[in-house]
């Protein structure tokens, strides 16, 4: 993607269906823009922002994280942050107290998403929705110890992801 200097850049990468492999040109990291706790940048009223679902994305593949973020924000959810490691996820969960963590199982670093989900649940009472390509019986057994709200098999569309998030929290869109 080549940007024309007279064309403003987009703050969110173009929508890419979840599960699509990134090309070599899209290897940049997710933006580190400040968390949007008020929702005002997306045109929400203060009341709508207070009712919005707050989601932490834990995913080490940039394209998947950016696609999930775009789909959730389009559905008026507030993405409180994107973590690529278990330790980042735990730190963001402590600081931001999301309603739900979307948790990949295989992450960068020595700890996995199951370990992060377990610690986030035990320390902060925040449950996770596992979004993973790894759902064999042993992985499911280990993951179930973290008391997740559910499992989603990758690849998943942005619309389906949003539907799962709302369903897991018992909310209507």
- 95 is a domain residue: yes
- 136 is a domain residue: yes
Q: Mean pLDDT, to the nearest integer, of 111-117?
A: 97
Asked whether the predicted pLDDT for residue 82 surpasses 90, the reply is: yes
Asked whether the predicted pLDDT for residue 79 surpasses 90, the reply is: yes
Q: Which domain holds residue 115?
A: 53-168
- 40 is a domain residue: no
- 106 is a domain residue: yes
The per-residue pLDDT for 123 is: 98
- Regarding predicted confidence, which is higher, 64 or 170? 64
- 91 is a domain residue: yes
What residues pair up with 153 in beta bridges, in sequence order?
132
Share of the chain above pLDDT 90, in %: 66
- 94 is a domain residue: yes
The per-residue pLDDT for 134 is: 85
Mean pLDDT of the chain: 80
Q: How far apart are CA 21 and CA 63, in angstroms?
A: 8
What's the Cα-to-Cα distance from 59 to each of 2, 25, 86, 170, rounded to whole Å?
26, 19, 10, 24
Name the one residue in this structure whose structure tokens are 């973590």: 83
Asked if 112 and 137 touch (Cβ cutoff 8 Å), the reply is no
- 5 is a domain residue: no
Q: Which of 6-20, 45-59, 84-98 has the highest mean pLDDT?
A: 84-98
The per-residue pLDDT for 18 is: 46
- 61 is a domain residue: yes
List, for residues 87-106, the tens digit of each pLDDT value: 999 999 999 999 999 999 99
Instruction: Specify the CATH number for the domain of residue 128.
Output: 3.40.50.2300
- For the chain, the domain total comes to 1
């Amino acid at each position: 993607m080549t940007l024309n200097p007279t064309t403003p850049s987009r703050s969110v990468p173009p929508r890419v269906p979840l599960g699509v492999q990134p090309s070599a040109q899209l290897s940049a990291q997710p933006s580190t823009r400040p968390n949007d706790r008020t929702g005002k940048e997306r045109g929400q009223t203060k009341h709508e922002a207070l009712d919005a679902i707050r989601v932490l994305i834990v995913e080490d593949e940039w394209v998947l994280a950016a696609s999930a973020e775009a789909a959730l924000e389009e559905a008026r959810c507030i993405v409180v942050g994107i973590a690529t490691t278990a330790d980042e996820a735990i730190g963001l969960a402590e600081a931001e107290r999301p309603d739900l963590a979307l948790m990949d199982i295989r992450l960068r670093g020595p700890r996995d998403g199951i370990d992060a989900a377990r610690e986030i649940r035990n320390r902060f009472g925040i449950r996770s929705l596992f979004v993973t390509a790894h759902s064999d019986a042993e992985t499911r057994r280990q993951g179930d110890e973290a008391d997740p709200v559910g499992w989603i098999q990758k690849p998943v569309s942005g619309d389906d992801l949003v539907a799962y998030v709302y369903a897991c929290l018992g909310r209507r869109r």
